[in-house]
């Protein structure tokens, strides 16, 4: 076989691969529309407005996140008003990791260069909504699974479990995503009046 024949076969193989990848991309489901977040495979949540919380809140939080044996602890300052949600997260060394602002349906993010790209602000907001927003607000934005809530527990299908010990804003809230294998323990203390 000549060198030219080998080159032609490699070019053909590359073209077939590119066409195959292009067709696969066309067959993949489109990304969710803005404000809609995938919270587990086949389950999405349309983020309700900050006003749907039904109250203004300013809290300091210690978040312990567990994922496949890894444990991360960070501090957050969460401020929610009728028009805006502001979350500032710092790592255990006090370095600012991320600032997320959610206002008028728009999410803006300032993130530290060392923060992994896999940490998506829209999923952070979705977890906050699942932990703290009223049942009706979560239920109305949920698609692909049923929500059940009783006696301090909330379940999103068989994918996500949420529980609270006492008042979630002056106590502990727990979220477990069984499909994506992560857990959050959030200890909150309200600040101010």
Q: Give the DSSP H or E segment for 127.
A: helix 121-132
6 vs 116 pLDDT, higher one:
116
What radius of gyration, in Å, describes the C-alpha atoms of the chain? Answer: 21
Query: Confidence class of residue 8 from pLDDT cuts 50, 70 and 90?
Result: very low
Q: Are residues 110 and 21 in the same domain?
A: no
Q: Are residues 54 and 145 in the same domain?
A: yes
How many Å apart are CA 89 and CA 85, to the nearest integer? 13
How many Å apart are CA 67 and CA 161, to the nearest integer? 15
What pairs with residue 156 in β-bridges? 147, 160
Looking up residue 93, the CATH number of its domain turns out to be: 2.50.20
**84-94: b (≥16 Cβ within 10 Å) or e:** ebbbbbbbeee
pTM of the predicted model as reported, rounded to 2 decimal places: 0.81
Provide the token pair at 43.
């389950």
Q: Using DSSP bridges, classify how beta strands 36-40 and 43-46 pair: parallel, antiparallel or unpaired.
A: antiparallel
At 95 the pLDDT is 93
Q: Are residues 21 and 76 in the same domain?
A: no
Q: Are residues 121 and 172 in the same domain?
A: yes
**In 3-state terms, what secondary structure has residue 106?**
strand
Query: Confidence class of residue 166 from pLDDT cuts 50, 70 and 90?
Result: confident
Q: Are residues 114 and 138 in the same domain?
A: yes
- Positive/negative CA dihedral, 116, 91, 88, 160: positive
Q: Are residues 70 and 106 in the same domain?
A: yes
pLDDT, one tens digit per residue, over 90-142 is 988 899 999 999 998 899 999 999 888 878 889 999 999 999 999 999 999 99
Q: Are residues 56 and 13 in the same domain?
A: no
How many Å apart are CA 102 and CA 62, to the nearest integer? 21
166 vs 160 pLDDT, higher one:
160
Q: Is the pLDDT of residue 15 over 90?
A: no
Distance of CA 28 to the CA centre of its chain: 21
Domain with 4, as residue range(s), is 1-30
Q: Are residues 40 and 22 in the same domain?
A: no
Query: Confidence class of residue 193 from pLDDT cuts 50, 70 and 90?
Result: low
Query: Confidence class of residue 34 from pLDDT cuts 50, 70 and 90?
Result: low
Q: Are residues 16 and 89 in the same domain?
A: no
Q: Are residues 100 and 120 in the same domain?
A: yes
CB 145 within 8 A of CB 130: no
Q: Is the pLDDT of residue 88 over 90?
A: yes
Q: Are residues 17 and 65 in the same domain?
A: no
Q: What is the DSSP annotation of 151-193?
A: TTEEEETTTEEEEEES-GGGSEEEEEETTTTEEEEEEEEE---
Average predicted confidence (pLDDT) for the chain: 84
Q: How many domains does the chain have?
A: 2
Residue 14, Cβ neighbours under 10 Å: how many?
10
Q: Are residues 173 and 82 in the same domain?
A: yes
At 151 the pLDDT is 86
**140-176: b (≥16 Cβ within 10 Å) or e:** ebbeebebeeeeeebbbbebbbbbbeeebbeebbbbb
Candidates 165, 162, 169; CA nearest to 183 is 162
């Amino acid at each position: 076989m000549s060198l030219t024949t080998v080159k032609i076969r490699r070019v053909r193989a590359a073209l077939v691969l590119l066409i195959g990848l292009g067709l696969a991309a066309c067959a993949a489901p489109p990304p969710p529309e803005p404000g809609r977040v995938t919270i587990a495979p086949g389950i999405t949540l349309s983020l309700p407005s900050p006003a749907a919380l039904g109250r203004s809140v300013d809290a300091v939080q210690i978040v312990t996140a567990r994922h496949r044996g890894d444990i991360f602890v960070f501090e957050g300052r969460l401020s929610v008003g009728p028009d805006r949600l502001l979350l500032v997260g710092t790592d255990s060394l006090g370095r600012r990791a991320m600032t997320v602002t959610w206002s008028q349906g728009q999410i803006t993010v300032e993130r530290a260069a060392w923060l992994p790209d896999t940490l998506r602000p829209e999923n952070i907001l979705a977890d906050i909504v699942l932990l703290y927003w009223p049942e009706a607000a979560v239920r109305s934005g949920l698609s692909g699974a049923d929500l059940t809530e009783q006696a301090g527990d909330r379940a999103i299908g068989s994918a996500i479990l949420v529980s609270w010990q006492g008042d979630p804003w002056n106590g502990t809230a727990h979220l477990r995503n069984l499909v994506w294998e992560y857990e959050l323990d959030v200890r909150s203390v309200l600040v101010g009046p």
